[in-house]
Amino acid sequence: MRGQIDRATAPATRSVRIRRLRQSRTPLTVPAVPVHPSATKPTAAARADPTWDPCRWLPTSADELAARGWDYVDVIIISGDAYVDHPAFGTAVIGRLLEREGLRVAIVPQPNWRDDLRDFKKLGTPRLFFGVTAGCMDSMVNRYTAAKRLRSEDAYTPGGEHGFRPDYAVTVYTQILKKLHPDVPVMIGGIEASLRRVTHYDYWSDTIKPSVLVESGADLLVYGMGEQPLSEAIRLLKRGVPFSSLKTIAQTAVQLAPGAPPPKNANWEDHILYSHDECLADRALYAKNFKQIEVESNRVKARRLLQLVGDRLLVINPPYATMSEEQIDSSFDLPYTRLPHPRYRKRGPIPAYEMIKHSINMHRGCFGGCSFCTISAHQGKFVASRSKESILREVESIKQMPDFRGTITDIGGPSANMYKMKGIDQSICDACIRPSCIWPQVCRNLDTDHSPLLDIYKSVRETPGVKHAFVTSGIRYDLFLHEHAKPHAKESHEKYVEELVAHHVSGRLKVAPEHTSDEVLRVMRKPSFKYFYRFKEKFDAAKEKFGKAQFQIIPYFISSHPGSKPQDMADVAVKTKDLGFKLEQVQDFTPTPMTVATEIYATGVHPYSQQPVCVAKTPEEKQEQRSFFFWYKPEMRGALRSTLHRLGMDQTAAKLLGGESAKFEMIGGSDPGFRRDERAGPRAAPRAAKPWFGGRTRR
């Protein structure tokens, strides 16, 4: 019959060929996409200025593949960010790492998920796998404000334009790939996948969601900083291990088939979490889960986590040890162009890149353990510091950039002054499960010597061609104000503020007290506000000593954080007014996955104590707290005086707002009032059955 196919002699379909080639473990050749002959020639822009030759970047189009003479690729990375070839952008780091491993890597930045999906098909099928990341931010944080309104700008898109990434980007991208390329494995990573690796609260849908592995259908999740697990995965794939067998790589998560037991590993102990269904039924159990997740993430030798999701088992393998100096240097020393891809030159600057393009990140990780922060959950509690030589090599690279004019905009990190800090006695750290090394007080085993940091500052600012070297990352003043430092560390503490003011402040220095109420600060895991007073005294003294009267401290504060009440925000307003501040750097608390504060917001109890904590949830409650930041604005005075009168704080109103007629302001300028949301409480869900893989090992 016309149109019939003799399946014994007809060529195999693409999916069948891929399957056969994987089974035989032979290299896969993907047919080249036809391109115009001129694609292999240098573009006019490249001939005019070799800096912008696209061949310096990892390829992003069929033309760029052809220019390299490639007829297949090993890995295709799908990213929610524009492609910037810089060590601050995870897609570039992973791409360059894979390139160093000898693989052919291509990137599809910000693919269109709303058309015929041509962006997901244009580079063909990769030989090994697709890599998927939402980008440098969780896509929901990137797209929405704390009030759940769409942001007006996307800092990771040319021109700051928004609308170039979907909500829940990892899930959307992966589901599209699984539909178009069902036989190709998908590996997910980046901060969105990392922080959603287990049952988590999603603020934007106000629901408890399962692991992103479950929702997306991905094959493997890499959490945290991905260099070590990815390198191990590539090593195994090169040896011929099938992708489906990559189940025991540290710092990865997989979902097993129904009934399958967890893979055996004699080096790991297991801890069984409450199932996803149990978390849905009882948020108190969900809160207990989080405590164990955080405890394990802070251990030097963590246990493997197991969680039942429906009829399948989620396995989260323990993390790798903190990167050595050699390992982190090798990541920062990859051959980045340090520039956005030339495809964006006519679309405008990329705001996030403009902010960091002449900056230096000296370390990863943070041992602060702040309740609202995701840095330690993603980068780790222990600090991995670069060598001085690597940092100075990056300074030389920055000097070669076409728009460098002599100013290093930041010598910093997640926290500006944690460089080279670690435990004095490692055996004490090995046994420790504290979420923070500096709260509720600085650990006596922590070496807070700032001398290595001061040495870096001096070397950078004395580099020929460097006119200024500023510190614009936020500093932790409790690291040089605590009482029990060793003598050599105390000496560096005294020197630090003076060196900072004399050489490294651009005019405004960022610090983050976050609140003034000690009760709220305890929930935040932040030091008492008394330390801010002491820091300001030292900063002001240094300003006077070096004739820098124009310098300012820019303090950061958060409203509506769990534990914060309107009375506490009134305390913020009064104390900062007394100090002469009119606050600018302020924000409402945004619940993001994998933080203590988010679990309190979701459950109403502290996951460690199981005690109730007050939480501002309605828009009216949040606005009431936020308004205290702007006591100096005339349009806010009526609402504030009304609130303070309702709270019985008329004396505070007089101190904060002056002695104007309360009656006039309350009638003429107040808001219509703040109504609490009294809708029904949490929904119940059925309790899950006992898991088949063993009894509970919970605390």
CB 195 within 8 A of CB 137: no
Average pLDDT over residues 208-236: 98
Query: What is the pLDDT at residue 684?
Result: 44
Question: What percent of the chain has a predicted confidence (pLDDT) above 70?
Answer: 87
User: What is the DSSP code (8-state) at residue 479?
Assistant: G
pLDDT above 80: residue 560: yes
User: What is the DSSP code (8-state) at residue 37?
Assistant: G
Q: pLDDT tens digits, residue range 633-672? A: 999 999 999 999 999 999 999 999 987 544 444 433 433 3
Query: What is the pLDDT at residue 164?
Result: 97
* Average per-residue pLDDT for the chain: 89
First-to-final CA distance of the chain: 69
pLDDT above 80: residue 13: no
Query: What is the pLDDT at residue 1?
Result: 32
In angstroms, rounded to a whole number, what is the distance separating the alpha carbons of residues 231 and 101? 8
Q: How does residue 568 score in pLDDT terms, banded at 50, 70 and 90?
A: very high
pTM: 0.88
Between strands 363-364 and 384-385, the pairing is antiparallel
Query: What is the pLDDT at residue 660?
Result: 53
Question: In this structure, how many other beta carbons lie within 10 angstroms of the beta carbon of residue 550?
Answer: 8
Query: What is the pLDDT at residue 49?
Result: 75
User: Hey, what are 552's tokens?
Assistant: 């300012």
pLDDT above 70: residue 30: no
- SS3 at position 39: helix
Least confident of 35-39, 287-291, 535-539, 693-697: 35-39
Average pLDDT over residues 600-616: 97
Torsion-angle region of residue 36: left (phi > 0), alpha (psi -120 to 50) or beta?
Answer: beta
Q: pLDDT tens digits, residue range 498-534? A: 999 999 999 999 999 999 999 999 999 999 999 999 9
Any alpha helices (H) in 218-281, and if so which ranges? Answer: 227-238, 276-281
Name residue 188's beta-bridge partners: 132, 221
Query: What is the pLDDT at residue 51?
Result: 82
CA 298 to chain centre: 17
Name residue 384's beta-bridge partners: 364
Q: pLDDT tens digits, residue range 345-366? A: 999 999 999 999 999 999 999 9
Name residue 220's beta-bridge partners: 187
Name residue 252's beta-bridge partners: 222
In angstroms, rounded to a whole number, what is the distance separating the alpha carbons of residues 540 and 473? 19
Residues ≥6 apart with Cβ < 8 Å to 453? 362, 417, 419, 420, 496
Query: What is the pLDDT at residue 488?
Result: 93
Question: What percent of the chain has a predicted confidence (pLDDT) above 90?
Answer: 85
Query: What is the pLDDT at residue 664?
Result: 43
pLDDT above 50: residue 695: no
Query: What is the pLDDT at residue 362?
Result: 98
- Give the CA radius of gyration of the chain: 27
Q: pLDDT tens digits, residue range 382-436? A: 999 999 999 999 999 999 998 999 999 999 999 999 999 999 999 999 999 999 9
User: Hey, what are 274's tokens?
Assistant: 């409450």
pLDDT above 70: residue 685: no
Any alpha helices (H) in 433-560, and if so which ranges? Answer: 451-461, 487-503, 518-524, 530-546
Q: How far is CA 304 from CA 3, 361, 405, in A?
A: 55, 31, 49
In angstroms, rounded to a whole number, what is the distance separating the alpha carbons of residues 649 and 300? 48
The one-letter code for the residue type at 162 is H
Does an H or E element contain 364, and which?
Answer: strand 363-364
Query: What is the pLDDT at residue 85?
Result: 98
Q: How does residue 208 score in pLDDT terms, banded at 50, 70 and 90?
A: very high
Q: pLDDT tens digits, residue range 31-85? A: 333 333 333 345 555 556 788 888 999 999 999 999 999 999 999 999 999 999 9
CB 167 within 8 A of CB 105: no
Q: How does residue 614 score in pLDDT terms, banded at 50, 70 and 90?
A: very high
Q: pLDDT tens digits, residue range 312-327? A: 999 999 999 999 999 9
In angstroms, rounded to a whole number, what is the distance separating the alpha carbons of residues 528 and 535? 12
CB-hemisphere CA count at 13 Å for 644?
Answer: 29
Buried b (16+ CB within 10 A) or exposed e, 9-33: eeeeeeeebbeeebeeeeebebeee
CB 19 within 8 A of CB 126: no
Tokens 């960022």 locate to: 510
The one-letter code for the residue type at 134 is A
Name residue 131's beta-bridge partners: 77, 187
The one-letter code for the residue type at 316 is I
Query: What is the pLDDT at residue 46?
Result: 55
Query: What is the pLDDT at residue 33?
Result: 32
CB 212 within 8 A of CB 200: no
Residues ≥6 apart with Cβ < 8 Å to 540? none
CB 158 within 8 A of CB 339: no
Domain ranges (residues) in the chain: 16-31+71-255
